[in-house]
Chain A
Amino acid sequence: DIQMTQSPSSLSASVGDRVTITCRASQSISNYLNWYQQKPGKAPKVLIYPASSLQSGVPSRFSGSGSGTDFTLTISSLQPEDFATYYCQQSYSTPWTFGQGTKVEI
């Protein structure tokens, strides 16, 4: 199975800050990496697929990059509504696996 490791596990930042979350795969997954945002009590929502395409309706302050084993999700200017947990997920091979999550606190 491909292991996905996110860092950090949590972070605290201020409104307007630039925030970067990293995700590392245990083997190359090309660009088959998706990012999700989950708010408390809600289902996850896709933000970025695969690796760098922004989902329709997602603010342009979110961006993704990377290929192979190393990927990043960047929030260019953190907003109060961005308080959430973010997950990466590989779809390169089954079992499709998620990172452990990064909790962003404002």
Chain B
Amino acid sequence: QLQLVQSGTEVKKPGASVKVSCKASGYAFTSYGISWVRQAPGQGLEWMGWISPYNGDTHYPQKFQGRVTLTTDTSTSTAYMELRSLKSDDTAVYYCARNVGQTVATGGWFDPWGQGTLVTVSS
């Protein structure tokens, strides 16, 4: 069925990098963009960026420019999010989500979401 399955919990030290995977199934992977959203403990939702599996185009908000890299592997229908130079306030649950109803100018909505990956940054 239609789902996104993410990799497991990560514990990292400050300054390290983390790479989270998101495997898609149940739909044509290259037909929809993938976004990444994070949620710090007890906090709200924050969009981290978008990638087109069709052509590799990406878009990152200024806050994450230079520190986040989104990639995809179309042979395995898997999206990846790498976050570098980790700090303690990067501790959060990281979600991938499929962009539906997206146009050239607008982002559509997120459905479905992966189950989330907890990344803890601690010395």
Contacts and interface: CB of A to CB of B under 8 A. Distances in A.
Interface in B23-55: 35, 44-47, 50
Contacts of B100: 49
A-side binding surface: helix, strand, loop or mixed?
loop
A44 B110 contact: yes
B59 A94 contact: yes
Contact of B95 (A43, A87, A96): A43
B51 to A, nearest CB: 13
B44 A101 contact: yes
A54 interface: no
Contacts of A95: 47, 61-63
Given A44-B110, A49-B101, A50-B101, A89 B116 contact: no
Given A43-B113, A92-B106, A94-B107, A99 B44 contact: yes
Given A44-B45, A50-B101, A94 B113 contact: no
Interface of B: 35, 44-47, 50, 59, 61-63, 95, 100-102, 105-116
Interface of A: 1, 32, 34, 36, 43-46, 49-50, 55, 87, 89, 91-101
